[in-house]
Structure 1
Amino acid sequence: MTLGGTAPVDPGLPLPVLVTGLLREQAGASSATVRLLAPDTPAEESRRLGESLVAEADGLLVLADGTNCSGERSPRPPDERAAPLDEQLRTALAEVDVDRLRALDPRLCAELGVDGRAALQVLPGVVAAGGGTWRGELLYSATPHGVTYHVATWTRQD
C-alpha cells in the first residue's frame, strides 16, 4: 500500500493516513494527499481549509470518528451524552446539515472521544466554496464495540 509513488506506507502512521493509502490503492488513483488536523483545531480554521480544498481536489475523503463511550464495550466509560451527539453527527451527515456540523462543541467532542471534530468542520467550508445544491447519503451508522462510526457521501448536484 502507498499514498502514491513507490515508497510503502509506514504502518506507524495515523489511522486516517493508512485508510487513505488503502482506499487510494483500491480506487486505482495515482496518488492521495493527506491533511491531518489536530483535535483542537478551531472550527473557523477547519472551515477555511475546506474552502481551500475545493479548488485543489477532484474529490475529498473526510475521516472522523463518532463517540467512543457509548456502551460497556467502549474504550471509555459509558456517557449518556454520547447518543445525542452521535445523533447530531448522523443527521448532519445524512442531510448535509452544515449548521449542525458548525455547532459541534469542541469541549464536548473531546470529552466524548470525537477526535475528528475538526475534520468534520471542514465540510461546511467545502459546501460554501463548492456552491450549488448538495445531497447526502448515510451509508452506515453503528456502534460496534462501543465506538460509533458513520459513513456518508456528499455529492454536489449541479
Structure 2
Amino acid sequence: MLVAAAVCPCPPLLVPAVAAGAASELADARTACSDALAVLAASRPDRLVVIGPAEEGARGVHPAGAAGSFAGFGVDLTVRLGSGPGGERALPASLAVGAWLLDHTDWADAPIEGLGVGTELQPARCAEAGREIGASAERVALLVMGDGSACRTVKAPGYLDERAEGFDAAVGHALGTADPAALLALDPELAQALQAAGRAPWQVLAGAAEGTGLEGRLLYEDAPYGVGYFVAAWS
C-alpha cells in the first residue's frame, strides 16, 4: 500500500552542476525537494519507485542500480538508482534527476526501482499502473518526477498559452490536497498541448493513492523559465 509520496519537478537544471552559474535560481525548489524526500525517508517503505516521463526507448521498468548521465547537458556526471546490478538501458533525464535527489538525501535502505512513463499514456492506464505499484508491497513510497505546463510566458519553451495558468492552478491544488480524482481528471490532450510532461506520472500516483487517505502539502509552486514546477509531499 502507498504510505508516502514526494512530487518533484524534473528539469536537469535542478542539478547544480548542470545549472552552473544559474544554480541559485532553483535553490528554493531544491530545498523543497529535500523536504519532500525527508517525508519519504521517514515513511520507512519496503519499496521505493521513482516515476517520471520518458522518451521512447527509456520507458518501462529500470532496475535498482540503473545509471543515468548528464553528459548530454555538458556535465560529466553519472548517477544511479540506488544499489544493484542495473541494466543495459540508461535512465531517462527525469529519473536521472530523481536519482540525483536521492543521492543527496539521508535515505533508508529500501529497494529502489524506476518507471519511465510515456507522456501520451492515457489516464485509465496510468491509474492501473499506479494501482499495481501500490499493491506490490506492504509499504510503498513513490518519488514522482514531472513538470507542469511549459507555456506560462512568451519566453517559455512552448510560448504563451492562456490555458496554462489555469491548468497549473488545478495541478497545484490537486497535489496540495492529495486529490487522486482531481489528478485523474486532468485532460491528456490539453496537457500535451501545454507540454505538461508531469501529467502521466501524476496520474500513476493518483492510481496508487486511491483509497489510502493520504494527506498532501504543497511545498513549492512557481514557474521559472515559464514552466510550472511543483513540489508536494503526501503522507
What does residue 115 of structure 2 align with?
Answer: 35
In structure 2, the CA distance between the partners of 1:98 and 1:4, relative to structure 1 (3 Å rule), is closer
What does residue 154 of structure 1 align with?
Answer: 234
> After superposition, where does 1:16-27 map in structure 2 within 5 Å?
16-27=94-105
What does residue 105 of structure 1 align with?
Answer: 187
Runs of 4+ deviating beyond 6 Å: 6-10
Equivalents in 2 of 1:135, 1:51: separation in Å? 18
| Cα deviations by residue, 1:12-55 (Å, 9 ceiling, x for unpaired) | 74222212211232234555211011011111111011111113
Structure 1 unaligned regions, length at least 5: none
Cα RMSD (Å): 2.2
Equivalents in 2 of 1:123, 1:6: separation in Å? 24
Q: 2:222 aligns with which of 108, 124, 142?
A: 142
- Contact 1:9–1:21 under 8 Å retained in 2: no
Identity of aligned residues (%): 34
Alpha-carbon distance, 1:68 to partner: 0.4
Alpha-carbon distance, 1:76 to partner: 1.5
Alpha-carbon distance, 1:115 to partner: 1.9
- Between the two proteins, the alignment pairs up a number of residues equal to 152
Alpha-carbon distance, 1:116 to partner: 2.1
> After superposition, where does 1:70-109 map in structure 2 within 5 Å?
70-109=152-191
* Partner-residue secondary structure (3-state), 2:215: strand
More strand by share: 2
Which protein, 1 or 2, shows the higher relative CO under an 8 Å CA cutoff with sep ≥ 6?
Answer: 2
Equivalents in 1 of 2:142, 2:185: separation in Å? 22
Establish whether residue 121 from structure 1 lines up as the match of residue 199 from structure 2.
no
Structure 2 unaligned regions, length at least 5: 1-78
What does residue 63 of structure 1 align with?
Answer: 145
